[in-house]
Amino acid sequence: MLAHVKECAPLEACGLLAGKDGAVSRVFLIKNQAHSPEKFKMEPVEQVQALHWMDTNRLDLLAIFHSHPTGPEILSTTDIAEAAYEVVQIIWSPSETWQAHAFWIEKGRLCNVELEITDG
């Protein structure tokens, strides 16, 4: 994820995380069709292909990630309004280094989610 986020900057990057029981086993890097530093829209064919792969391989959609290259470190009101799946939402944002922040949307409000990010 981090390499994708850095590569796409200053535009927003996006993607999907698949796995089981809260453990990610596959990251899908999806093209941002919006080509924007302030908005993302996953390329529909890539998104559908990723979801189909998850279904075929009996994995769950665990999270959606995207970056906020110019901040903030939380989901925007647009992100909350356009959230289509009840999954963890991960925002990558730079401060001194890129950092990931995870949230669950509950009745239009954000709840922090603890992340454990590994290289493996």
Q: Residue 17: which CATH number? A: 3.40.140.10
Give the residue numbers spanning the domain of 37. Answer: 2-113
Residue 84, domain member (yes or no)? yes
Residue 31, domain member (yes or no)? yes
What sign results for the dihedral spanned by CA atoms 30, 36, 40, 46?
Answer: negative
Residue 120, domain member (yes or no)? no
Q: Residue 38: which residues within 8 A CB-CB, separation 6 or more?
A: 12, 70
Residue 60, domain member (yes or no)? yes
41-57: average pLDDT: 98
Residue 37, domain member (yes or no)? yes
Domain total in the chain: 1
Q: Over the Cα atoms of the chain, what is R_g?
A: 13
**From the candidates 7, 12, 96, 116, which is the catalytic residue?**
12
Residue 103, class by beta-carbon neighbours within 10 Å (0-12 exposed, 13-18 middle, 19+ buried)?
A: buried
The answer, as to whether pTM is greater than 0.85, is: yes
56-64: average pLDDT: 98
Residue 13 and residue 2 in contact, taking contact as beta carbons nearer than 8 Å? no
Neighbours of 115 (CB within 10 A): 13
Confidence of residue 23 (pLDDT cuts 50, 70, 90): very high
Residue 56, domain member (yes or no)? yes
Q: Is 12 a catalytic residue?
A: yes
Residue 86, domain member (yes or no)? yes
Average pLDDT over all residues of the chain: 94
Residue 88, domain member (yes or no)? yes
